Amino acid sequence: MLEIVIHIALLILFPPLVLGVINKTKSWFAGRNGPPLLQAYFDIAKLLRKGAVYSRTTSWVFRAGPIVSLGSILCAGLILPLASNVAPLGFTGDVILFAYLLGLSRFFTMAAALDTGSAFEGMGASREAAFAVPAEPALFLSLAIVCIPAKAASFQAAWSALPWALWGGAHPAYLAAAIALFAVMLAENSRIPVDDPNTHLELTMIHEVMVLDHSGPDFAFILYGSAVKLFVIAALLVHVLLPIPEHLGWTGVALLCLGEAALAILIGVVESTVARLRLTRVPQFLIGASVLAGIGLAIALYRGTA
């Protein structure tokens, strides 16, 4: 019971903090003080206190977008183990549902963007779809790598079967999975080098441009949803590198937070040191991730993962 409470508390409270850590890292690189660590919480609270403006063109699909998207991301977070190797809603076969819930969230975000009738938002939806296509096989191949030794398509089995060592990721197959998942994480959460969360020109945006017309609580849901998505995918990556076993209690929570913080700093470093890719290069980057994960899977299958 306590584990479930911890899980839900982590899932609900922590995600915006990850954004804060990323921004602090980027500010440190740029020699600025940067926004406070809790800025994302302030933004969300401010938006929740506002009214809303809806475009006359839109239908209920536009209003459904943010809530379906946030709802499915939260559901995905309830399936994925966080501070231990069990999740409140986990089951055999949950890895597939996890990925498809992220897909459902994307579907409704894109539909809501097209509902505005704006050329910019249509463009954003088109790019989101185009980059999701090469990212999806990379995600599934990485999931297959971690599920092979467990002989079951479930997170709990996978995290129990992965070697519990600080450098569990030292095996080439897991290393490939981790690198591929890192690329997927950057793409799914619109980070550099795929997308730039700080850009101010609509033509160059991907995720941000899809949500141009959302305002007030809707936009708060979207901001919060993208924070949760980042937190959840980062948690997946933390487990690949450092599978947290059952019954660690607060140690598990500490390990997860450390892992999340380390990944957030890594994202901050990447964003500060790497330039954004040209749009036509992004699919190549993600296909590269898929190929890497495919090689990792071949290693896992033919050489074994023990």
Instruction: Specify the stretch interacting with other proteins by CB under 8 A; choose among 43-51, 192-200, 240-248, 257-265.
Output: 43-51
Q: Is 141 a residue that touches other proteins (CB under 8 A)?
A: yes
Q: Is 59 a residue that touches other proteins (CB under 8 A)?
A: yes
How many alpha carbons lie under 13 Å from residue 220 in its C-beta half-sphere? Answer: 15
Least distance in Å: CB of 305 to other proteins?
A: 11
Dihedral in degrees, nearest 10, Cα atoms 251, 91, 223, 256: 10
Residue numbers 275-294 binding other proteins by CB under 8 A: 279-280, 283, 287, 290, 294
Residue numbers 66-85 binding other proteins by CB under 8 A: 66-68, 70-72, 74-75, 78-79
The helix (H) or strand (E) run that includes residue 164 is none
Q: Is 195 a residue that touches other proteins (CB under 8 A)?
A: no
SS3 244: coil
Least distance in Å: CB of 14 to other proteins?
A: 18
How many alpha carbons lie under 13 Å from residue 68 in its C-beta half-sphere? Answer: 17
Cα separation values, 140 from 72, 147, 180, 189, 251, Å: 18, 10, 10, 17, 29
Q: Is 162 a residue that touches other proteins (CB under 8 A)?
A: no
Task: Compare residues 209 and 255 and give the one whose CB is closer to other proteins.
Answer: 209
Least distance in Å: CB of 52 to other proteins?
A: 5
Least distance in Å: CB of 208 to other proteins?
A: 12
Task: Compare residues 59 and 251 and give the one whose CB is closer to other proteins.
Answer: 59
Nearest to 242 by CA among 143, 159, 129: 159
Of 10, 19, 125, 227, the one binding other proteins by CB under 8 A: 125
Q: Is 24 a residue that touches other proteins (CB under 8 A)?
A: no
Instruction: Specify the stretch interacting with other proteins by CB under 8 A; choose among 1-9, 26-34, 138-146, 226-234.
Output: 138-146
Least distance in Å: CB of 280 to other proteins?
A: 7
Least distance in Å: CB of 303 to other proteins?
A: 10
Count of chain residues binding other proteins (CB under 8 A): 88
Euclidean distance between CA atoms 179 and 138, whole angstroms: 10
153 near 100, Cβ under 8 Å?
no
Helix axes 15-30, 216-241, angle to 10 degrees: 80
Nearby residues of 299 by Cβ (< 8 Å), 6 or more positions away: 172, 173, 176
The amino acid sitting at 44 is: I
Q: Is 52 a residue that touches other proteins (CB under 8 A)?
A: yes
Residue numbers 219-278 binding other proteins by CB under 8 A: 221
